Chains A and B, each alone.
Chain A
Amino acid sequence: MGKQSIEQLQKVATQLRRDVLRMVHAVQSGHPGAPLGCAEFFVALYFDQLHHNPDFKMDGKGEDLFFLSNGHLSAGWYSVLARSGYFPVEELKTFRKLNSRLQGHPATHEHLPGIRVASGSLGQGLSVAIGVAQAKKIEKDDKLVYILMGDGELQEGQIWEAAMYAAHQKVDNLIATVDYNGQQIDGPTEKIMDLKNLKAKWESFGWVVNEITNGNDMQSVLDGLEKAKELAGKGKPVVNLLYTEMGYGVDFMVGTHKWHGSPPNDEQLANALGQLEETLGDY
């Protein structure tokens, strides 16, 4: 895949947002808020950053790999996988329906190309990504492993077991990203369980912290991910703090936890789609 212009990448991100909204609306279930906020990240990663092969192989040897630990962002991940050629875009309409490969949370059981481990029960993906990164080191494979986590997800203890381990083992072919939107299902993270100084937390665990302060601006995300790549391979694992807004792109959804796990009704969908141009053709 050749490099695409910012305008082209933004079009993909807009289409991803439409896909997400239409998918969760169709089954009246799912999680629209966070994938709307991570659209730029998903698109920058799959359409610009990753050296990857949509002709899917489980072991991913010689490829950059991405893992989604906060599996409830599945609609966004499925959209970017389909739009980058892992499976037919048409298949997005089966999301969360019986006999679909597009399970509510990502799974390997139905052999959906692009998925290497199930996620949904939070806190597990970082450990898995570390294991893959270590397998790459044994194999002398110089490609990178990427992993996205939610900020609320950092309340899980296993994350910090993994954080301690990755630094101790110098897993420097790993680029983690925290979707730092400050929201979780019951409310703002600072009210539910305050994360306090995340930058200092990761640094004290021995990680290099790379702040991407505008996670909903395509150029900022591209620049931030380029910088992360430069920081990798220097003896420390890298974590991006990606500042995003939950629900970004739809005026009545942005910046609140209310759309974390609730689908829009017919009227709300029409309103939302009116704010997002159909750039690549709906599924």
Chain B
Amino acid sequence: MSLDLKFTYTEKKDTRSGFGDGFLEAGRKNPNVVGLCADLIGSLKMGDFQKEFPERFFQTGIAEANMIGISAGLAIGGKIPFAGTFANFATGRVYDQIRQSVAYSDKNVKICASHAGLTLGEDGATHQILEDLGMMKMLPHMTVINPCDYNQTKAATLAIAEHEGPVYLRFGRPSWPIFTPKDQKFEIGKAWKMIDGKDVTIFATGHLVWEAVVAEAMLREEGIHAEVINIHTIKPLDEEAILESVKKTGCAVSAEEHQINGGLGDSIAQTLIRHNPAPLEYVGVNDSFGESGTPTQLLEKYGLNAENIVKAAKAAIARK
């Protein structure tokens, strides 16, 4: 049985490679773009930039707090620093440094976080951060972006280089379908309606946008027409797009590779409650840590794959 997917792919690639390629291109476009990494240059795909611009790249060693502070300093000096490490070390480990030296001080620092979420896989829960979006979106001044595939991550990386102000950019490790257009325009804060529908809206971010695309096709086979909206920017949230869609469909599902507590779903719930209370079902990790396994196994076990989105969509519709 093959699904009639509205978006398809011929190639898979990791989103971190989209970051690495976008970072190199941003560096070629703007001589003020500089890079820092805490001993994970290979994993973050920052090596090509380092090779081409060695005088604009700083290996900080395994010292993330120092890396964030140096980034703030480089920004004071007029540079546009991209500081890269795993999402766990880029947020939880250095929350106070980001809070005081970057966000409160309004520094033009790009925090580039790879290996976010369960799809990090076998390394297990110590590295699978599921709270980073929540921590970052709570910080005043911070823009929070979570793109869905290689192409969108590359476009987002180029866009944040031109955006003035602190940004948290989240991406991941696994090889993932490339289903969005090459060389797309990336508008920070602007949601993208990928599929039109009338019965339920699926708001998805990051890797789960692909799962939402698959879920839409599965629902359509049962005569349910879901609208799929790609929320690549968690903050500032495109409230207008959310409200317009739910006004039409009357209910919604949020889907993210993150704790339900404090994630995208929470932001959507706040918007709906204030302006148009409607049933909302959450697809996310429910107050637990992850574990070792393959990305596919983990998305299944923790209830984050297309089948779970289908179930949540039906539950939301039933509550209308």
- Chain A residues in the interface with B (C-beta under 8 A): 58-61, 107-109, 116-121, 123-136, 138-139, 157-158, 161-162, 164-165, 168-169
Chain A: which residue is nearest B56 at the CB level?
A: A138
- B76 and A128 contacting across the interface, CB-CB below 8 Å: yes
- Min Cβ gap B57→A in Å is 11
Q: How far, in angstroms, from A123 to B66 measured CA to CA in the complex?
A: 9
Identify 22 residue pairs between A and B in the complex whose beta-carbon atoms are under 8 Å apart, listed by A's number.
A116-B76, A117-B105, A121-B96, A123-B65, A124-B69, A127-B70, A130-B69, A131-B69, A131-B71, A131-B75, A131-B77, A132-B74, A132-B76, A134-B73, A138-B77, A138-B79, A158-B63, A161-B63, A162-B63, A162-B66, A162-B70, A168-B61
B69: contacting residue among A59, A162, A164, A169, CB under 8 A: A162
Q: A107: which B residues are within 8 A, CB to CB? A: 104-105
Q: A59: which B residues are within 8 A, CB to CB? A: 76-78
Chain A: which residue is nearest B38 at the CB level?
A: A161
| Max chain B C-beta neighbours (<10 A), residue from A107, A116, A118 | A118
Q: Does B306 contact A (CB under 8 A)?
A: no
Chain B: which residue is nearest A158 at the CB level?
A: B65
- Min Cβ gap A66→B in Å is 12
Q: How far, in angstroms, from A198 to B34 measured CA to CA in the complex?
A: 34
A118: contacting residue among B70, B81, B101, CB under 8 A: B101
- Min Cβ gap A199→B in Å is 22
B61: contacting residue among A128, A136, A164, CB under 8 A: A164
- B66 and A117 contacting across the interface, CB-CB below 8 Å: no
- A130 and B72 contacting across the interface, CB-CB below 8 Å: no
Q: Does B24 contact A (CB under 8 A)?
A: no
Q: Does B100 contact A (CB under 8 A)?
A: yes
Q: A117-B105, A117-B107 are in contact. Are A131 and B63 (CB under 8 A)?
A: no
Q: Does B261 contact A (CB under 8 A)?
A: no
Q: B131: which A residues are within 8 A, CB to CB? A: none
Interface 1/0 per residue, B100-121 and A, CB below 8 Å: 1100111100000000000000
- A134 and B76 contacting across the interface, CB-CB below 8 Å: no
Q: Does B192 contact A (CB under 8 A)?
A: no
- Min Cβ gap B29→A in Å is 17
- B77 and A132 contacting across the interface, CB-CB below 8 Å: yes
- A139 and B101 contacting across the interface, CB-CB below 8 Å: no
Q: A131-B76, A138-B56 are in contact. Are A120 and B100 (CB under 8 A)?
A: yes
Q: A117: which B residues are within 8 A, CB to CB? A: 72-73, 76, 101, 105, 107
Q: A59-B78, A165-B60, A169-B58 are in contact. Are A134 and B101 (CB under 8 A)?
A: no
- B77 and A135 contacting across the interface, CB-CB below 8 Å: yes
Chain A: which residue is nearest B106 at the CB level?
A: A108
Chain B: which residue is nearest A133 at the CB level?
A: B73
Q: Does B55 contact A (CB under 8 A)?
A: yes
- A128 and B101 contacting across the interface, CB-CB below 8 Å: yes
Chain A: which residue is nearest B60 at the CB level?
A: A165
- Min Cβ gap B55→A in Å is 7
B66: contacting residue among A121, A132, A165, CB under 8 A: A165
Q: B76: which A residues are within 8 A, CB to CB? A: 58-60, 116-117, 128, 131-132, 135
Q: A118-B105, A169-B58 are in contact. Are A135 and B74 (CB under 8 A)?
A: yes
Chain A: which residue is nearest B101 at the CB level?
A: A124
- B72 and A165 contacting across the interface, CB-CB below 8 Å: no
B100: contacting residue among A60, A118, A129, A133, CB under 8 A: A118
Q: B268: which A residues are within 8 A, CB to CB? A: none
In order of increasing CB-CB distance, the 10 nearest A-B pairs are: A131-B73, A135-B77, A127-B69, A161-B63, A161-B66, A131-B70, A132-B73, A128-B73, A131-B74, A158-B65
Chain B: which residue is nearest A147 at the CB level?
A: B73
Q: Knowing that A108-B106, A131-B72 are A-B contacts, what are 17 other residue pairs whose CB atoms are under 8 Å apart, sorted by A's residue number?
A: A59-B76, A108-B104, A109-B104, A109-B105, A117-B72, A118-B101, A118-B105, A124-B69, A124-B96, A126-B69, A127-B72, A129-B73, A130-B73, A131-B69, A134-B70, A161-B61, A161-B63
Q: How far, in angstroms, from A117 to B76 measured CA to CA in the complex?
A: 8
- A138 and B65 contacting across the interface, CB-CB below 8 Å: no
Q: B58: which A residues are within 8 A, CB to CB? A: 134, 169
